[in-house]
Structure 1
Amino acid sequence: MLAQGQPIPCRRRAFEEAIAFATLANESVGESLSHALIHKLGFEAPQLQVPMQLPSGRFVRPDYFWPNVRVVGEFDGAHKYTKSMQVSGKEPSRVVYEEKLREDGIRSLGHRVCRWTWADLMNPERLARILSNAGVPRSSGVRRFGD
């Protein structure tokens, strides 16, 4: 992030880079922070909210997709499960079951699925391990914003 006392041109450049990086495709604060950390950790940029048709005919939009390595990434906030009745009108057990079926459908397309939570975002090394273990490649020669 920006340090106090940084010359104005440096702060302006960092601000402009951050604005250029921003996107409305992220659908939650957790997704936005995930996207920024994926970038900051030096991983290849994912595609966001890519529609996929499951064998059942249902369309889904995973949070992140790296098509060249067939990896889907999902940020899981607890809210979807702990506040399910308020969010979707469904019992938590139903939400978990539907999420399992959704993930099984994504895997049946030949994609790997990796998931992370707020705890992983608060410890970026954990997120880096999750992405590395799933096979998400690192970027080469790309300068990251804020550096």
Structure 2
Amino acid sequence: MIDVTSDLFGDLLRLPDGLFTRQDAVRAGVRDRVIAAAVHRRLIVRVCRGVYTSPGPLSVDEQRHLVARAALRSYEDAVLVGAPAVAAHGIPLFEVPALPGDIARPIVREARTAQLRIRPLRHASVETDWGPATDLPTSLLQLTMDHGIPAGIASIDAALHTGATDTDALQAALGEIAAWPHSSRARCAIAWSDGRAESLGESVTRAILRGAGYRVDSQVRIADGDGVVVARVDMGIEGTHVLLEFDGKVKYTDGGPDALFREKKREDRIRSLGYVVIRVTWADLFHAERIVRAVRDALAAAA
């Protein structure tokens, strides 16, 4: 029987990011059969080809970061692309799975492993805290092509909101990938993007409504009969009195009952001015028909 203890990998697991490669282990005198036995006993886990870490629960974001760093450790010529590149630039993602991790290398055809999608390298890279990645506009468009318009809009809005990129840079990046498969998703996401959105939930709600044919305005200011602005709401259906507020960010969580009371008074004030307010929750984002139906019913009631 092979003698395997968790202490055997202690020094290796103290390497950056808690990752070590097969080459690191061999240099430390650990043979392949010992590594295999440790994986079998779950003393360590394989992140991607030839890269290992300690076992333990990870959030999706933590797993994405770990896989990205492991891929760069495994392939010295790799560059992060798509979703992990967007995350590497510090931009949040909406419901994008951690696997497969996306990288590019100087290869001719796309290849896959159990954990990675490896694409031909077509763009220059920039340095991020995670390592080399494609520039943010290109990364955002690749994300959109890979994971769809709502996910793309959510991250594009966030990048526009923080000033990390702008529409001109996105349009320039679009020109370089215009002939790629699913580039129409990227084109649509740019057209529907709005940097005024203040949360991923707002962005996805707007994407759902735009997809249903509604024109949506963000951060709508509500004024009373004297022209005094009494509230600002997340979004409204253009040309109507139908408004939507996204509750996923829970604006009043930290304020306790007083904040909840103020929010109710605020909404009562908006309704008294003839507006219909629809509350959208995070769960609703996964049932787009609920949001569309609520808007459709509100418009019918107001007609």
Q: Is the TM value for this pair above 0.5?
A: yes
- Structure 1 residue aligned with 2:161: none
Residues 1:65 and 1:9: Cα distance change in structure 2 (over 3 Å): same
- Structure 2 residue aligned with 1:113: 277
Q: Any gaps of 5 or more consecutive residues in structure 1?
A: 85-89, 137-147
Shift, 1:79, TM fit: 3.4
> Counterpart amino acid of 1:59?
V
Residues 1:78 and 1:16: Cα distance change in structure 2 (over 3 Å): closer
Q: Which one has a larger percent strand, Structure 1 or Structure 2? A: 2
Of 49-58 and 112-121, more deviation after overlay is shown by 49-58
Candidates 196, 208, 211, aligned match of 1:25: 196
C-alpha separation in 2, matches of 1:2 and 1:109 = 42
C-alpha separation in 2, matches of 1:53 and 1:37 = 27
> Counterpart amino acid of 1:36?
A
Q: Is the 8 A contact 1:55 1:105 kept in 2?
A: no
Tell me whether 1:43 sits opposite 2:213 in the alignment.
yes
Shift, 1:132, TM fit: 1.6
Aligned residues, how many?
126
Please, what is the CA RMSD of the aligned residues? 2.7
> Counterpart amino acid of 2:258?
R
Runs of 4+ displaced beyond 2 Å: 1-4, 7-14, 53-59, 66-69, 78-82
> Counterpart amino acid of 2:260?
V
Q: Is the 8 A contact 2:145 2:183 kept in 1?
A: no
- Structure 1 residue aligned with 2:267: 103
Greater relative CO (CA pairs within 8 A, separation 6+): 1
SS at match of 1:51: strand
Shift, 1:62, TM fit: 0.8
SS at match of 1:135: helix
Candidates 35, 46, 61, aligned match of 2:232: 61
SS at match of 2:233: coil
> Counterpart amino acid of 2:264?
K
After superposition, give the CA deviation of every residue in 1:37-78 in whole Å (9 maximum; x if it has no partner): 1112x1311211121234795532111122533111111115
Q: Is the 8 A contact 2:218 2:236 kept in 1?
A: yes
Residues 1:93 and 1:55: Cα distance change in structure 2 (over 3 Å): farther
C-alpha separation in 1, matches of 2:299 and 2:190 = 28
> Counterpart amino acid of 1:16?
R
% identical aligned pairs: 33
> Counterpart amino acid of 2:279?
R
C-alpha separation in 2, matches of 1:77 and 1:3 = 25
Q: Is the 8 A contact 2:217 2:237 kept in 1?
A: yes
Shift, 1:114, TM fit: 1.1
Q: Which has the larger radius of gyration?
A: 2
- Structure 1 residue aligned with 2:138: none
